[in-house]
Amino acid sequence: MTELVRKRPEFRNINALKDLPSYRLPAAGIVSILHRISGFLMFLLMPLFIWLFDNSITSEISYAKLSAAFGIGIGFVPGWFFKLLALALIWAYLHHFIAGVRHIYMDAFHAVTKEFGKSSAVATLVLSLGLTAVLGAKLFGLY
């Protein structure tokens, strides 16, 4: 190694606030951490999801109440807030699902080259964000 080569920055004892913001994550890394974050988010929103499921199938009245929740809201919580939570759930599920399929595909077909890692990661992000946009537009009544 010549003295002209800049010493590469070393990352030991990674401090979340000092080091992580300056660290460039590759596409596959972004997909990976979002996979974890989306899973955690769904874990937190699980009661909401079950509340939606419960009210949607219990009776006509609860179903109507649920539809109203997304329109007018319930109590002090406005309708658009429920839609926002639903959108978060939609994104979380789509990303987690597609990234998960990518995992299983790489496991099953041993597709573990660096190039495939990048291309599949980009495809995951495009597909999940694209579908979220489409479903979100439908949810918010844009079409």
Partner 1 sequence: MSSVNYGSKRIVTGAGYGFRDWLAQRVTAVLMALFTVVLLAQVIFTSGPIGYEEWAGIFASQWMKVLTFSVIIALLYHVWVGMRDIWMDYVKPLALRLALHVFTLVWLVGCAGWAVQALWRL
How many other CB atoms are found less than 10 A from the CB of residue 29?
A: 13
Rounded least distance, CB 36 to partner 1, Å = 7
Which of 20, 25, 54, 68: binder of partner 1 (CB under 8 A)? 54
Query: Pattern 17-46, binding to partner 1, x per CB under 8 A?
Result: -------------------x--xx-xx--x
Decide: is 134 part of the binding site for partner 1 (CB under 8 A): no
Q: How far apart are CA 116 and CA 131, in angstroms?
A: 22
Decide: is 107 part of the binding site for partner 1 (CB under 8 A): yes
For helices 79-109 and 27-44, give the axis angle rounded to 10 degrees: 130
Cβ atoms of residues 100 and 138 within 8 Å: no
Cβ atoms of residues 63 and 97 within 8 Å: no
Binding residues for partner 1, rule CB under 8 A, total 23
Query: Pattern 68-97, binding to partner 1, x per CB under 8 A?
Result: -----------------------------x
In the DSSP assignment, the letter for residue 111 is -
Q: Is 112 helix (H, G, I), strand (E, B) or coil?
A: coil
What are the residues binding partner 1 (CB under 8 A)? Answer: 36, 39-40, 42-43, 46-47, 50, 53-54, 56-60, 63-64, 97, 100-101, 103-104, 107
